[in-house]
Amino acid sequence: MRKKIVAGNWKMNTTLAEGVELAKGITEQINDISKGVSLIVAPPFTHLAIIAQMLKGTPVAVSAQNCADQPKGAFTGEVSAAMLKSVGCTYTILGHSERREYYGETSEKLVKKMALAFENGLKVIFCVGEKLEERNEGNHFDVVAAQISEVLFGLEPQQMKNVIVAYEPVWAIGTGVTATDEQAQEMHSYIRKTLAAHFGEEIADETSILYGGSCKPSNAKKLSSCPDIDGGLIGGASLKAEDFIAIAKAW
């Protein structure tokens, strides 16, 4: 049985004090959530050590939003997978569309990052998703299939057990426009079939596939009722503990 997961991507938001407050708010309401749903928060790098310490012993796991494509050394401004592990991260997000779009994150780089994440004992939330023009041209399935095959198909089947896939249509991220439950379910089912064709049915069935893109308390219930949508990767709405918890309650 695959896991249901709701993860909050805080992006470049919150000061340390605000982040600590937000994490506290989440833990205070954790009992409202079904035991079958796992929570993850992805604060900015500067907060990770403190928030991981705070959340130790709670059911909320901590993720980074990115990691370096080099193990260590003269790479000013970068943060390595080993560093993330050493401060208590369990996961790192990789391939978020904002990283692909603004920081030139290619599949080639993502392959390196993923290998380093695994070498250092991190699990990965791997993001895929098409742009609006790609959907309008009818290329959305091909775009997502390429993002998956270029990065995930090099993995051993065992490594896939440490990957959560997040489908985040770029046109839905931070725009207030959510994919309809039909659009999201259709793509999630396609992603699962793509994984099954390469890794086999069992691994595909066990992989959690999260939806991301303007998910909020008001639309989470519809998305959560789709058979292949195993949770959410939440941006804006994860910055308010009540909203994040309300979304998690939908799953």
Per the DSSP assignment, residues forming a β-bridge with 210 are 166
In the three-class reduction of DSSP (H, G, I as helix; E, B as strand; rest coil), residue 2 is classed as coil
- In the region spanning residues 174 to 203, those forming contacts with ligand PEP, defined by CB under 6 A, are 174
Residues identified as active-site: 96, 168
Q: Is 243 in the site for ligand PEP (CB under 6 A)?
A: no
- In the region spanning residues 3 to 42, those forming contacts with ligand PEP, defined by CB under 6 A, are 9
Q: Is 43 in the site for ligand PEP (CB under 6 A)?
A: no
Q: Is 213 in the site for ligand PEP (CB under 6 A)?
A: yes
Distance CA 55, CA 233 (A): 19
In the three-class reduction of DSSP (H, G, I as helix; E, B as strand; rest coil), residue 212 is classed as strand
Q: Which two tokens stand for residue 75?
A: 């790479």
Are 121 and 83 in contact by the 8 Å Cβ rule? The answer is no
- In the region spanning residues 48 to 77, those forming contacts with ligand PEP, defined by CB under 6 A, are none
Sole binder of ligand PEP in the list 14, 207, 214, 219 (CB under 6 A): 214
Q: Is 233 in the site for ligand PEP (CB under 6 A)?
A: yes
The helix (H) or strand (E) run that includes residue 100 is helix 97-102
Sole binder of ligand PEP in the list 99, 212, 245, 250 (CB under 6 A): 212
Of 95 and 199, CB closest to ligand PEP: 95
241-250 vs 217-224: helix crossing angle, rounded to 10: 20
Of 79 and 212, CB closest to ligand PEP: 212
181-199 vs 140-152: helix crossing angle, rounded to 10: 40
Positions in the binding site for ligand PEP (CB under 6 A) = 9, 168, 173-174, 212-215, 233-237
